[in-house]
Amino acid sequence: MFTNRKSTPERRSLPARTGRAARDLARRSLGLTRDTVHRELLERARVQEELSDEQIWRRYQFRHLAAFITIPAVILGTASIATAYGTGLMSSDPAPPACQPVVVAAPPAASFRIKVLNASGQNGAASLVAKNLARRGFTVVEASSAPRTLYVRAPVRIYHGRAGLDHALLAAQTVAGAELEYDGRAGTSISFVLGADFTTMLPAPPPKPPAQKSYKVNVYNATWRPGLAKSTLTELTARGFNPGKQGNDPDQSFLPNDVAVIRHGPDADLAAAQVAKHIEGAVLSEVPRDNLVIDVVLGNKFEQVTPWAEVPLTPVRKDPPPTVSRPCD
């Protein structure tokens, strides 16, 4: 038979007392206030270091303050460093070295062909530039107008192929602001195209006297003395000049008051001046001629070729070998 047992005060009191005891113990544990903790810390420090209460308390406060300042600073510094690495300011990879142009010996100016084209709108500019390049030792094969479809803004644009890079770089040294353009052509020839901004060429060093064998010298007699042209040409040939024609002057000049007249074209002025050193008193005369042939026309006052010992010496000039600077790839 099931019996319904009712709880008695005695049965309820034991669990209640047990619960109250646990709660009292917890309250006693939590009853340790900050002052109690501080007193215990002070007591431990006093025993260990024999410090006063004020010194120990200040040390305790300083440690809390240092922790308050240091921890945010470390967090902020870490974030700053991470940001710097993220933006590349503190990248551990070294910056790639800057490309340096390569300086090499330039090819001889006369070793390649230059075509001068005028796209500047200035009449006669191609002819003037071609003559100037020729005086600097370049080999100019053409001077003409550029096609109407070709527009160049720069002072000069130099078209070249792969093998003609150094040759184009050498020619570019004659005009400030010159630009190069690769057009895939074969060989070392270049096209020197004058553009809208072209004004003038850069100054060049004084040209060297041409080699005596690079031009011909004709000697013509304008006097009544026979054999004068032949003997004079023989002497000039012995001195290293390249002999041309000799005989009476085909222009039938009459020079009663001249030693000699040396006729030359615009491009042969340096050669004519070189010949004139061997005939004292000769007069230079430029004529319309597009070659390097020199005419020596003997006048009535001519007596002989200047003796070797009295010929002015040509100063020897040693220029450094030309170079070009290849740009970076």
User: What is the predicted pLDDT for the residue at 40?
Assistant: 62
Distance separating alpha carbons of residues 329 and 326, to the nearest angstrom: 9
Sign of CA dihedral 97, 101, 105, 111: positive
Distance separating alpha carbons of residues 109 and 107, to the nearest angstrom: 6
User: What is the predicted pLDDT for the residue at 48?
Assistant: 53
User: What is the predicted pLDDT for the residue at 283?
Assistant: 97
Q: Record the tokens describing residue 92, joined without a space.
A: 């551990």
User: What is the predicted pLDDT for the residue at 159?
Assistant: 98
Q: Are strands 113-118 and 190-194 parallel, antiparallel or unpaired?
A: parallel
The CATH class for the domain spanning 104-194 reads: alpha beta
Q: Record the tokens describing residue 193, joined without a space.
A: 């195209």
Q: Is there a common fold for 104-194 and 212-310?
A: yes
Domain ranges of the chain: 34-82, 104-194, 212-310
pLDDT, mean over the chain: 82
Q: What percent of the chain has pLDDT over 90?
A: 60
Chain segment 20-38, per-residue pLDDT in tens: 655 555 555 555 555 665 5
User: What is the predicted pLDDT for the residue at 50?
Assistant: 56
User: What is the predicted pLDDT for the residue at 33?
Assistant: 53
User: What is the predicted pLDDT for the residue at 220?
Assistant: 98
Tell whether the model's pLDDT for residue 12 goes beyond 80. Answer: no
Distance separating alpha carbons of residues 146 and 160, to the nearest angstrom: 16
pLDDT band at 4 (very low <50, low <70, confident <90, very high): very low
Chain segment 192-244, per-residue pLDDT in tens: 999 999 999 999 888 778 889 999 999 999 999 999 999 999 999 999 999 99
Tell whether the model's pLDDT for residue 105 goes beyond 60. Answer: yes
pTM: 0.58
Nearest Cα residue to 216 out of 241, 246, 247: 241
Tell whether the model's pLDDT for residue 128 goes beyond 80. Answer: yes
Chain segment 55-76, per-residue pLDDT in tens: 655 665 555 555 555 555 555 5
User: What is the predicted pLDDT for the residue at 8?
Assistant: 43
Under CATH, what is the fold of the domain 212-310? Alpha-Beta Plaits (3.30.70)
CA-based Rg of the chain, rounded to a whole angstrom? 51
DSSP 1-54: ----PPP-HHHHHHHHHHHHHHHHHHHHHHT--HHHHHHHHHHHHHHHH---HH
pLDDT band at 85 (very low <50, low <70, confident <90, very high): low
User: What is the predicted pLDDT for the residue at 60?
Assistant: 54
Chain segment 146-182, per-residue pLDDT in tens: 999 999 999 999 999 999 999 999 999 999 999 999 9
Alpha helices in 31-163 (DSSP H): 34-49, 53-87, 125-135
Identify the burial level of 148 via C-beta atoms within 10 angstroms of its C-beta, where 0-12 means exposed, 13-18 middle and 19 or more buried.
exposed
User: What is the predicted pLDDT for the residue at 191?
Assistant: 98
Distance separating alpha carbons of residues 204 and 72, to the nearest angstrom: 70
